[in-house]
Amino acid sequence: MNDIATVRPEAEIIAAAKRVLPGGTFGNLPAEVVLKDGKGGRVRDEAGREYIDFLLGSGPMFIGHAHPAVTAAVQEQVPLGTTFFANNRHGVALAEAIVDAVPCAEQLRFVCSGTEADLYAMRAARAFRRRDKILKFEGGYHGMSDYALMSLAPKRPGNFPRATPDSAGIPKSVQDEMVISAFNDVAMTESLIKEYKDELAGVIVEPFQRLLPPKPGFLQALRRITAEHGIPLIFDEVVTGFRFAYGGAQEYYGVTPDLCTMGKIIGGGYALAAVAGRADIMAHFDRAAVGDEDFLMQIGTLSGNPVAAVAGLATLEVLRQPGAYERVFKTGRTLMDALAKLIKDYKVKAQVVGEPPLFDILFTDEPAKDYRDTLKADKDMAARFNQLLRAKGIMKGETKYYVSLAHDQADIDRTIAIWREAFAELTA
């Protein structure tokens, strides 16, 4: 059956998904959400309903869906070959562009997903330090590897620094290789690094953890503490890379790590991610440079493939245009300010958290500085609010509004109107 040429009713697609997919989904949104196409800052589902899109494919569509420059680049490349399992000029050019843009990046290695990038960054730190343990922060998301799924979202957080597995199928021994600290807690983190300094291979952190900005001085302190003990600092910039600034969160917050990971935006909507950093650490990917014992093996069938590379290059070219980031931040600030005003007008116990390119509402009026603070938020209220938004024409995930360069004034106005309608129903 040629699926491309087959028109199927939405209900039939949903039924088929529930038959052939565990839970009826790809593991992301509910089975009932079946998207058909997207253009700019909007998407449509299989029933023809249009949504203002703040999901953006979970972030990569930063310049909007089906951007003409990206589409043209991909259409030009596809007839020439989609992957070669070898260097290609487009992948090399994209690597050059990223190294030029990102402060910590002296060299990089391409992979296909953020999960891979974070896994290899931790492995590179282990190879470099010849140590095993990694310190991460409770609530921090670093992909789907066994190590990353330690204390990502524990429902009953335990005592620091003991790790809690967040998935079935993870060997119990992995718990012993992860040290857990609290985001934004300098004293705890410094104490743990000093305690485990002879066992730590590295420290991995989202410089902007999910929705929580770093407290002033936190990232600077983390940089100082890790440098004092010669422990590589890894910034997970899969989300923030090229989103908060052209040089990522490390440029935006003014702190340079030893390694970083990137994904989403650098592939322009195609499967591409990267681990980048100091040349002496990245040398472990080169057998000739470090020898057999210290060599870090990394092979990927689609790593650096030319289709994703040309999409990434076209995306970065758009982001280099004057005023691009100013527009995104203006859109985000306008939306955040309007949402905060509606919270006040409707007397809802809630707050807006995040930065203009990436934010959401937490249904609590208590300050939120770390993961445990977010557990105080009313999740049932958030779920009801999100359901209302989707019914009225806003597409987003459970958390996060991803703001794009393509969102225009009509999208802003309609979003605010939908928020107002949703709050009226929520508080009725």
Known catalytic residues are: 141, 236, 264
Kindly give the pairing relationship between strand 107-111 and strand 42-45. unpaired
Give the closest residue to 406 by CA, choosing from 33, 36, 28, 38. 38
HEC assignment per residue over the chain: CCHHHCCCCHHHHHHHHHHHCHHHCCCCCCCCCCEEEEEECEEEECCCCEEEECCCCCCCCCCCECCHHHHHHHHHHHHHCCCCCCCCHHHHHHHHHHHHHCCCCCEEEEECCHHHHHHHHHHHHHHHHCCCEEEEECCCCCCCCCCCCECCCCCCCCCCCCCCECCCCCCHHHHHHEEEECCCCHHHHHHHHHHHCCCEEEEEECCCECCECCCCCHHHHHHHHHHHCCCCEEEEECCCCCCCCCCHHHHHHCCCCCEEEECHHHHCCCCCEEEEECHHHHHHHCHHHHCCCCCCCCCCCCCCCHHHHHHHHHHHHHHCCCCHHHHHHHHHHHHHHHHHHHHHHCCCCCEEEEECCEEEEECCCCCCCCHHHHCCCCHHHHHHHHHHHHHHCEECCCCCEECCCCCCHHHHHHHHHHHHHHHHHHCC
236: alpha, beta or left, given left = phi > 0 and alpha = psi -120 to 50?
beta
Give the closest residue to 135 by CA, choosing from 194, 195, 201, 191. 201
d(CA 274, CA 304): 9
d(CA 72, CA 85): 23
- Cα angle for residues 151, 152, 154 (degrees, 5° grid): 60
